[in-house]
Structure formats: structure tokens, C-alpha cells
A and B are shown apart, each in its own frame.
Chain A
Amino acid sequence: MQKYSLFSLARNALSGHRNWPLAWRSPPLKDRYDVVVIGAGGHGLATAYYLAKEFGVINIAVLERGWLGGGNIARNTVTIRSNYMRDASIPFYVKSVAMYEGLTRELNFNMMHSKRTMVDVVQTWPKLRELRRRQLVMDIYGSTYEQITTAELRRRIPALTGGGPEARLPVICGMVHTDAGVNRHDAVAWGYARAADAMGVEIHQQTAVHSLLRGAQGAIEGVATSRGTVRANKVVVAVSGHTTTLTETAGLRLPLRTMNLTAFVSEPVQPLIDVIVNCPDSGFYFSQSDKGEMVIGGAPDMGQSFRRDIKQHVFEDTVSAMLSLFPRFKKLKLLRQWGGHLDIAHDASPIMDQTEVPGLFVTAGWWGGYKAIPAGGLTLAHLVAKGAPHPLMAAFTLDRFRHLDFVMEAGTTTAR
């Protein structure tokens, strides 16, 4: 792997940028690997990277139906935060946020990380009570939440001119989560891919997995793909919204539903907002990208959906909620809108486990799982390599459903 540095930049500039090496190889597909990872999104690539880096498992193929980093990772709004509710969740996300902060160095790839704080605009008393409850638990694990007055909130976010005393939902106060940040989603996918490839991991794009193959004893044996059968005794399903589509081919039933989540961006404007603004009571959130675009997300489409577009009324509801608090945004021109389909577990927490099919692992339920990519990859790699869950993710296995011992995060994922 050629190290990216000022020196390599200068040298390649001298040769007119014609000699940069490819960031990863496209090797021929073999018919057997130690581990097959299905899905070259954030979780699949990070799992492959940590398997190689931390556990010395190199003979890995990552199989991707489309192109690397073209799934939900390319569609997300890059909010990275750890303000969750449960003792099991918060340390996991604290770890992931910390890993993200060191990822530029770890992968020698500029993540354009910007630790810029998330501010919740609170408009109802039940929401304030819920956030204060979260604050009590977060405090144990060193994740920060701090209440600020409306005056302070409006000083920090001058564009917040709605929600006055006459509004239907007047602003009550703000809650500040200083650990939150944003970074560049392509860099995460490409950085993990390049570093994994450099250690020998093979990434095969345009390789769709059609079904999971089980041997005579029931254990996983490999996968049937659009390019033939690929065998492995360990298979990791990291396909985001399509988990059940695949696991059903092995006869599994998982507590996951797939739903459509959407976002849109405005034209670039001058720097206006330097934090991530989250308005849970009105149902939208946004941040300003380095290019100056407002990146805006709203509520999900509530029914099950495998669509990647945005429903007109979801779009209109989000826009009208935003204009009630930020009336000046009426002048913004919107450039692009899109959606993704994500699976969400019964209790809204992730599922990382070896399933009842020996050798078949899933990492799923990543509703708002971009922030979880580093810790998710590391802890799943631990499980795949060692056969035992990593302590940080032990609560996220399927056992919690067998015992009806949910890690209830329903409601805390609204900011993604």
C-alpha cells in the first residue's frame, strides 16, 4: 500500500498524477476462502479489516452485489454520536466514536473528521425528561449531555428563529452532546477497503450472493453467487436492509423489519451552522457539509419498505417541520433527495451474533449504524475469529430475544 503523505502527493504531482497506484486490487475469484463477508458496506469492510489486522485472518473474500461503498453508507447523513439510553449501548458507541476520531491515522486516509457537537432543540417536556434520563446513564460512561437555556441555544444557532412563545411547540431548552461529529462517508468505505486489501483481503464487486449454502450437518458451507459457488466455513452477512432476504435462504427467522429512511441536501450556502442540529420533537435534523450544503434528514416512512426513493408526504412533512423552526430556510434550493432501506430489530438495537446455523454470522439492525462501523467491525471480527462475543457487544446477540431481555433503544435512534 502506498502511504498517502505530503511526500507522495508532491512526488505524484511532479509526474502529473498519472502514476498513483490503484487503491485496491481486483483479483480473480477463488472457489474457497476461510471467511466470506457478504456486503462491502461499512460493516462488511470494517469486519474484514479487523479480522486481518487484529486476528490475522487474511484469507477473506468480501462479496458485493454492486460497487464498494455504494449501499446505505453512501446514503447516510454521517452523524456520529453516543447519546443512547442503555448501559449496554453507551460504552459501545463511546468506543466507536473514539475509534472514528483516530481512524485517519489508523487507515492512513483522511476521514475529514469534524467533531462539531450535536445540539438537540427540545420542544416538549416528555422529550426533556427522556433526554435527562439518558444523561444520567451516559454520565456513567463518560458520554456528555448538558442542558442549555433557550437564550444560549439561540445564541449558538442564530438561524433558529422559529419556536417562539406563540408557536404550537415553543422551544423549551437545548441539550448539548459535545462528543458528536461528522466525517466523510466515502473515505470510511475506501479507507477500510484499501487497508484491508493491503493485508491480503480480496474485495469482489459485482458479485451478488443469491443464497446461503448449508452442509449435510446443517452448518454453513458457502454461498451461491452470480459468479458461481464460493465455499467457506464462516460466512458473515453484512448486507444492511437485505439481511432477512438472505438469511431466509438458510431457513432462519430473525426479528428484523426493513424500512425506508431518507435525506436531502440544499445548494451550498455560506457557513451558517457549525453544529449538528437535531429537533426530535419536530422530527428532523441537519448539519452543514464542508461544501456548504445543508444535509437534512427526517422521519422514516413507517411501514416496511425496500424502496430507495423518498415519499412525497415524508418529504413535505420534513420540510414543513424544518420551516417551523428555521423559517429563513424557505429560500434554500434543494438539490438532491434520496433514501435507503435499513433493517431495524424488534428493540431497535443491533444484532451481532453467530446464528443457529453454525458458521453463519450476522451483523444487522443497523438503523443509524454508520456511527457504529469501527466498533461493530472490531467486535464482530472478535466473534468470528474467537467464537466468543467481544464484551462490548455481548448484549447485542440473539440471546436477548430468546430470553425476552431486550436492549430497548426504540426512540433514541431518531437522530440517526
Chain B
Amino acid sequence: MLLIPCPFCGARSESEFIYGGPVRAARPDPNVVSDADWVDYLTVVPNPLGPVQEHWWHARGCGEWLTIWRDTRTHDIVEAPDEIE
């Protein structure tokens, strides 16, 4: 069970949240990007052995949406990796 930090409610149990999917790059203009980049945007998410950035919804709490970085090997909620900042 994760303890997810909600900006309003503090650390709360995962069972109060609904997973909202990986954070994706900004949606490009399909008329401008190449076909390959458009397909990449639509279908590919990073799948590392390590930190991923994802949305969570505090649905059974205050209703806030938030994003966290979480390690896919340990479930630890971690700091944003350096190269991303």
C-alpha cells in the first residue's frame, strides 16, 4: 500500500486514490509533427526499471489531482530525477 502525499490532506492511504495514468509529454499539433512522433506521443510511455511520473486522483478524499514520481521496482515515492528538472 502506498502512502500518497496529497497537497491538502497530507500522506493518505492508496486505497483513497484512483490511479490516473502516466504523465505524458504535451500534446503536439498533429499537423506539425512527423507521423512517427505523433504515433510515439499517442502510444509510447517510458517503461523504466526506476522512476515514473504519474497522475493520482484523491477521489475518496478531497478530490484533488496530483502527480508523483514512483519507482517501479520498489513502489517508493521519490524525488523527480535530476535530468528531468
Count A-side interface residues using an 8 Å CB cutoff. 22
- Give Cα A162–Cα B40 distance, bound, in whole angstroms: 46
Residues on the B chain within 8 Å of A346, using CB: 42-44
Give B1-22 interface residues, CB cut-off 8 Å to A. Answer: 1, 13-15, 19, 22
Chain A residues within an 8 Å CB radius of B13:
313
**B42 near A404: Cβ-Cβ < 8 Å:** yes
Specify which chain B residues have a CB less than 8 angstroms from the CB of A122 in the assembled complex: none
A-side contacts of B72, CB under 8 Å: 258, 303-307
In the complex, the number of residue pairs spanning A and B with C-beta atoms less than 8 Å apart equals 53
A155 at the B interface (CB under 8 A): no
User: A303-B19, A404-B39, A404-B42 are contacts. A256–B75 as well, Cβ < 8 Å?
Assistant: no
Cβ contact within 8 Å between A304 and B39 = no
* Chain B interface helix/strand/loop/mixed: mixed
- CB contact list, A165-210 vs B, under 8 A: none
A258 touches B14 (CB 8 A): no
Q: Is the CB of A245 within 8 A of B49?
A: yes
In whole angstroms, how far apart are the Cα atoms of A304 and B46 in the complex? 10
A342 to B45 Cα, complex, angstroms: 15
The CA of A375 and the CA of B77, in the complex, are separated in Å by 40
- Does A244 touch B at the CB level, under 8 Å? yes
Answer yes or no: A331 CB below 8 A from chain B CBs. no
Give the distance in Å from the alpha carbon of A256 to the alpha carbon of B46 in the complex: 9
* A253 with B44, Cβ < 8 A, contacts A313-B15, A402-B39 known: yes
Cβ contact within 8 Å between A257 and B1: no
A-B contacts, 19 listed (Cβ < 8 Å): A245-B49, A253-B40, A254-B44, A256-B47, A258-B72, A303-B54, A303-B72, A304-B22, A304-B45, A304-B47, A305-B75, A307-B75, A311-B14, A313-B1, A313-B13, A313-B15, A343-B47, A346-B44, A401-B39
Known pairs A303-B70, A313-B13 / 17 extra A-B pairs, C-beta < 8 Å = A244-B47, A245-B49, A253-B44, A255-B44, A258-B72, A304-B22, A304-B47, A304-B52, A304-B54, A305-B72, A307-B73, A307-B74, A307-B75, A313-B14, A346-B42, A402-B36, A402-B39
